[in-house]
Amino acid sequence: MNVIETAIEGVVILEPHLFEDTRGYFFESFSQRDFEEKVGRVNFVQDNESKSFYGVLRGLHYQLAPYEQAKLVRVVKGCVWDVNVDLRKDSPTFGKHVAVELSEKNKRQLFIPKGFAHGFAVLSEEVIFQYKCDNYYTPGQEGGIRFDDPELGIDWRIPQKDILCSEKDKQLKSFRESFVF
């Protein structure tokens, strides 16, 4: 796998080595050995999958300390615009975000270390999204930031009128009102 740095330290794009022929393709979607060698030691304990449709926006979500989660995310079917906001108070990129297109075509994965709010917008008709987490989901310990907070200035790459989010996500606080301050 190739590792591509992003504008925020710790958030990296992983590109698998793809083997294609007339039968289709094959790639190794995860190797603990290679991941540790190229990215770092992370013990993933939970895998999640979601199915969504065009315009669905999930996020921006995080888990409160000490339940934070590092994630390795990828798209199996379709395409998303994946956004991650740095919530690490001592980071030089605190409050900044990085966004990456993940799709079944590019087969990219994104590693997001602990200390980030994560979300994605579905750009295709349908998407199947998978992610590995290094900590278990803990009900009652989740937090979130409004996707449309003007301070963050995130371009979700879909028209505002097409955005579909949960009632819970519509009630999230702004970045300044979130726990990090």
Ordered by where they begin, the domains of the chain are 2-170 (2.60.120.10)
User: What pLDDT score does 178 carry?
Assistant: 85
Q: Could you tell me if 142 and 58 are in contact, meaning their C-beta atoms sit under 8 angstroms apart?
A: no
Is 17 a catalytic site residue? no
Clarify whether 61 is annotated catalytic: yes
Q: Tokens 């993940």 identify what position?
A: 102
Q: Which residues of the chain have pLDDT under 70?
A: 179-181
DSSP assignment letter at 105: T
Q: What is the pLDDT of residue 158?
A: 96
Out of 17, 61, 118, 136, the active site residue is 61
Choosing from 62, 118, 131, 136, which is the catalytic residue?
Answer: 131
Cα–Cα dist 154/168, whole Å: 19
Environment class of 38 (CB within 10 Å of its CB; exposed 0-12, middle 13-18, buried 19+): middle
Half-sphere exposure of 178 (CA within 13 A, CB side): 28
Q: How many Å separate Cα 139 from the centre of its chain?
A: 19
Helical H runs in the chain? 32-38, 167-170
How confident is the model at residue 90, as a pLDDT?
93
Buried b (16+ CB within 10 A) or exposed e, 139-163: eeeebbbbbbbeebebebebeeeeb
Q: What is the pLDDT of residue 181?
A: 45
Could you tell me which of 166, 146, 142 has the C-alpha nearest to residue 156? 146
Q: Is the distance from CB of 43 to CB of 68 less than 8 angstroms? A: no
Q: What residues does 132 pair with on adjacent strands?
A: 47, 72
User: How close are the terminal C-alpha atoms of the chain, in Å?
Assistant: 37
